[in-house]
C-alpha cells in the first residue's frame, strides 16, 4: 500500500493539531499553583473522566448482552498501571493514547 506524501503530511498535521489542545492544558496546569479548594475539586475529575471514557468504550452492547471490547481492554491495562504508579494525569493520557494507537495498529483496524 502506497501513501502519497501529501496525504501523510495531512495525517501527521491532523494528529498534531488534535494532540496540542489535549496535552498543553495538562502541561500548563502542572506548573501552576491553584488554590486548595480548586485542587480538591479538580482531584475528582481525572477518575471520573477516566471511568466514563473507559467504560463507554470498554463495554459493548450486543443484541442479547454486554461484552468487553478486547482492543480497549488491552489498551486500558498499561494506562491503568501508569495512572496508579505515576499519579500523573499527563503521563496517563499519553500512555493511553499511545497504547490505543499501538493496539489498533497491531489489531489491524
Q: Model's pTM, two decimal places?
A: 0.54
Which alpha helices (H) appear in the chain, and where do they start and end? 5-31, 36-42, 45-58, 70-86, 89-107
pLDDT value of position 103: 94
For residue 60, what is its C-alpha cell? 459493548
pLDDT value of position 109: 57
Please say if the pLDDT value at position 35 is more than 60.
yes
pLDDT (mean) for 43-54: 76
pLDDT (mean) for 62-73: 89
For residue 13, what is its C-alpha cell? 498535521
pLDDT (mean) for 7-35: 87
pLDDT (mean) for 9-20: 92
Amino acid at each position: 500500500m502506497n501513501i502519497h506524501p501529501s496525504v501523510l503530511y495531512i495525517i501527521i498535521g491532523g494528529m498534531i493539531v488534535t494532540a496540542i489542545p489535549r496535552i498543553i492544558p495538562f502541561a500548563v496546569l502542572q506548573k501552576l499553583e491553584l488554590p486548595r479548594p480548586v485542587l480538591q475539586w479538580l482531584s475528582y475529575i481525572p477518575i471520573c473522566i477516566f471511568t466514563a471514557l473507559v467504560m463507554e468504550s470498554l463495554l459493548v452492547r450486543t443484541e442479547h448482552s454486554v461484552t468487553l471490547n478486547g482492543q480497549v481492554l488491552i489498551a486500558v491495562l498499561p494506562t491503568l498501571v501508569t495512572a496508579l504508579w505515576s499519579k500523573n494525569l499527563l503521563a496517563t493520557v499519553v500512555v493511553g493514547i499511545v497504547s490505543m494507537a499501538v493496539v489498533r495498529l497491531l489489531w489491524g483496524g
